[in-house]
Structure 1
Amino acid sequence: MEQTDLYQLFNTTWTIHRLSPLHHSKDCETLLNNQVALKTYATRLRDHLTGDVLSGVQADTGADENALSKTGALKDCLWQTISPSREASVSQNALSGILVTLEYENIVYKAALLTDSSNDRKGSTTLPLLLTRFPTVLRQTFLAFLSANFDTYISSLRLPSNFLCAGLQAYIGSLQSAKIVDAIRELHLTLSFSSSIAPDLRSLNVNISRTALGDLLRAKASNRGQSLEQKLRSPLIDNLTAYLEEHLAMKLDLDGSDDSKHHVRLSKVVCAPFVLGGEGRVKLVVADKDDDETQSALEAGMKLLGLVVNRAVVGDRSTT
């Protein structure tokens, strides 16, 4: 059985989408861990890509046409089951799914379909999160292939301010207190503004140095009016909110608890171990080493990716 592990999802910038269940009863009863089925769809996708399906699209894609012209011929198309075994031993994370690899002569493109639970039922499989690293025209072709072959509905997955805040909190909460600053290093936040209050200012970048990050983590936040969950979490968000209000006169609801009354939102979080973009971009970073620091980063990254998978599941019922 050809398998790969979740480590393949690190150190790559992904565009994220939400998938409805994949229906495959006309071809096979099960999909995950079904080598025959995976080879069938890999062959079908390869035939699809090596035919004329892109010829009518490339003429209007400009930069994407140029990018695809440099890839060379498609050498291999591989679908593999993603095994959670390596990461499960570290974080007990149940993430699994399918990794799709397109190997061209000059570049390798990847996509991953993920779930956080066992959802491979007879005739259909639930893999709610789709990650792709493709140029636009190739991504559109791949999405069309999934829709045609699995009767699945695909939509862009946006990450609202409160999710970005929760993701940052979850990552920090997964690390030992003494290691947080060393892991995060510097923190870069992008704040976006509604056109009604700042028609000429679309975004503002806030850069927090390693020293300032340590100060914000150590400072004791006010617990007045907070829920028990808020009191138990890292003081970073509360202290950062207070700092921006004091020094920039900017009333900012970073955790998105009341988006309807605020016109400033958190739209991107960038630090050494990860990137979360509200427009639907994710990157997790981990060193290719077998040491305690790498294992800690792997565990924290898996927890963060699990939140993104869960967001794909519940996103339709959440405010975006």
Structure 2
Amino acid sequence: MAEIPLYPLYNTSYQLYRVSPLHHGDSPLLNDRTLRTHARRLRDLLKGDNVRGVDVDFAGTEGALPKLGPLEECNWDLVGDEDAWIDRHRQSVDPDASQLSSVLSPDRARGIGVELGYEKTAYNALLLRDPGTTPSPEGFTSLPLLMVKMPAAIREVFLNYLKTAFDAHVAPLRLPSTFLASTLETYFRHLGESTSTQKIQHVIQQLKVQLTFPQSTSLLKHIEVTIASHDVPGFISRGKLLATTNQKPFTAALSRYIQKHLAFDLSNPKVYISRIQCGAFVLQTDRLKLMLPEGLSDVSFDEDSSAVESSAAQLAVQEIYSSLIREATGTGKFLPESIVEELRSSTPSSVGSGRRGRRKRAVSTTASSSAATKRPRGRPKTVNGGLSAQEDEEMADA
């Protein structure tokens, strides 16, 4: 049986931005006709189309990026959760199941997926929300989290289009050190549950934590602490024995270890965590790469696997997604708090967001054909026990 394409949130290095509510007036944004219109307009800008010899708004990017070849496709589509993603692609992998597929409604959509297909490569961006909790004022649609995988020249045109077409403010999302630490603790908490069949050391693998102190000295910018996979559970156990863990046992143990061996205090505002890299994700203050959670990668599409229990890693990803949306919305709110509270109280719960206990499994077409292994497929070979050098270059790409 054919496999469902990989959900776009996974295995891609994204730059993070936050976006104010998109203004569209009386015409709804989240419908096919409106999305096709914006796709056509963005394509014209990227190709450098002009009216009567005058460039429309922005210069084209094809001359700036000649190695990509011509722009062949520009698509804007609704993006739902993993369940909706399977429903959308079910017909292509199993034509007989077309009657079972459901159409993704705007109220259930997580947001918009933008895909740019060039002759030699492709890029994408995701405008995201939590459909059950993200309020939108009248005439606007709130998609506060923007994740972009584009080179600088194309990214500039795309961001400017969002600003001018929707009268929106777009700013880089700067994640605080506490958010990076909490993301790691979220994985540890779910993987440490008594019902979890996954082990921390197998999912997290080798762990690298980068400490940065830019205001302390010009000679030393950062230090990277590497922890072997089999030592990670020991840090967590030690942290649980400390009196002031505040439900963050690993962070407490790491802080105690660094203070003893390196004489650095993580509670000092001049010392903060700027990057965490492990087998589950790579997270910086402005970038994110989520790996495909184990449990999604080892099941092919068929009717018997249409609904299964979520793995601990999947539950962790769901919680991290919601946290990212809150962070993008709450860091200097674009709306007054009174309006936010009023809209939140009148926003109905999403049908899709209520199904937390049972999830369908999407499968990457690039995954290995072997179904016997329990490890997530499609992961790159490691370099000295960590992630590949290619991934490091992706995360460092401006």
1:267 corresponds in structure 2 to 274
State TM-score, norm by structure 1. Answer: 0.81
The 3 A distance-change label for structure 1 pair 83 and 6 is farther
The two structures have a TM-score, normalised by structure 2, of 0.66
Q: Is 1:212 matched with 2:209? A: no
Matches within 5 A, 1:144-159: 144-159=160-175
**C-alpha distance 22-55 of structure 1, shift in aligned 2 (>3 A):** closer
Change (3 A) 1:144 1:5: farther
Tell me which of 203, 208, 216 is aligned to 1:183. 203
Amino acid at match of 1:41: H
C-alpha separation in 1, matches of 2:32 and 2:136: 14
**1:219 offset after TM fit, Å?**
2.2
Q: Match for 1:49 among 46, 51, 60? A: 46
In structure 2, distance between residues paired with 1:193 and 1:95? 40
Rounded to whole Å, the distance in 2 between the matches of 1:185 and 1:308 is 23
What CA RMSD, in Å, does the superposition of the two structures yield over aligned residues?
Answer: 2.8
* Bigger proportion of residues as helix: 1
Cα gap change, 1:300 to 1:128, in 2 (>3 Å): same
* TM superposition shift of 1:122: 4.7
Residue of structure 1 equivalent to 2:79: 82
Task: From the two aligned structures, give the one with the greater strand fraction.
Answer: 1
* Structure 2 stretches lacking a partner, 5+ long: 50-54, 87-107, 300-307, 334-398
Amino acid at match of 1:286: L
Where 2:29 maps in the other structure, the secondary structure is coil
Q: 1:107 to 1:133 in 2, by over 3 A?
A: same
Structure 2 counterpart of 1:62: none
Q: 1:105 aligned to 2:102?
A: no
| Cα distance between partner residues in 2 of 1:36 and 1:190 | 45
Encode CA deviations 1:178-226: one digit per residue, 9 max, x unaligned: 522211011101100133x3221011111111122121122254443x3
Residues 56-205 of structure 1 aligned to structure 2 (within 5 Å): 65=64, 68-84=65-81, 86=83, 96-118=110-132, 119=135, 122-177=138-193, 179-195=199-215, 197-205=216-224
SS at match of 2:191: coil
Query: Which residue identity lines up with residue 266 of structure 1 in the other structure?
Result: I
Deviation at 1:104, TM superposition (A): 0.7
For the residues of structure 1 that align with 2:173 and 2:249, how far apart are their CA atoms?
28
Name the % identity.
33
CA change 1:299–1:133 in 2 (3 A) is same
2:29 is matched with which residue?
Answer: 31
Give the match's secondary structure for 1:131: strand
Q: Give how far 1:47 is off.
A: 1.2
Q: In the comparison of the two structures, how many residue pairs are matched?
A: 286
Deviations 1:99-143 (A, max 9, x none): 000011111100000001354665210000101000011111100
1:307 corresponds to 2:351: no
